[in-house]
Amino acid sequence: MATHALKRQFIRDAAGNPIGVILPLEEFALIEETLKQRLSVPSTADKLAQMEKAANDALFMADLCETMSAFEQADAQWPEPD
């Protein structure tokens, strides 16, 4: 029985733009962990932990203050909601 090596298969939309790809298992194994990391959605607990960490990060807080100061004049032009 002959075996066939699968090649990449590109999925295209009606206009011919690539929108996806089907990979052979060997290639998928090389990028699987990266895909999992990029596609994973942090839990609420993770988000809260990141916010707490940011609140104690001097560089983040300095950047936040600088940004707030830069937009202070523009923010003053909008009425506060009731």
Spans of all domains in the chain: 9-39, 44-76
> Minimal CA–CA distance to 24: which of 4, 46, 47, 44?
4
- In the numeric block, the tokens 């923010």 are attached to 75
- Taking 90 as the threshold, does the pLDDT of residue 69 lie above it? yes
Task: Answer for the pair 8, 23: CB distance below 8 angstroms, yes or no.
Answer: yes
Cα 56 off chain centre by:
23
- pLDDT of 45 reads 92
Average pLDDT score, the chain? 90
Q: Where are the alpha helices (DSSP H) in 1-82?
A: 25-39, 44-55, 58-70, 72-76
Greater model confidence, 71 or 4: 71
Q: pTM higher than 0.75 for the full model? A: no
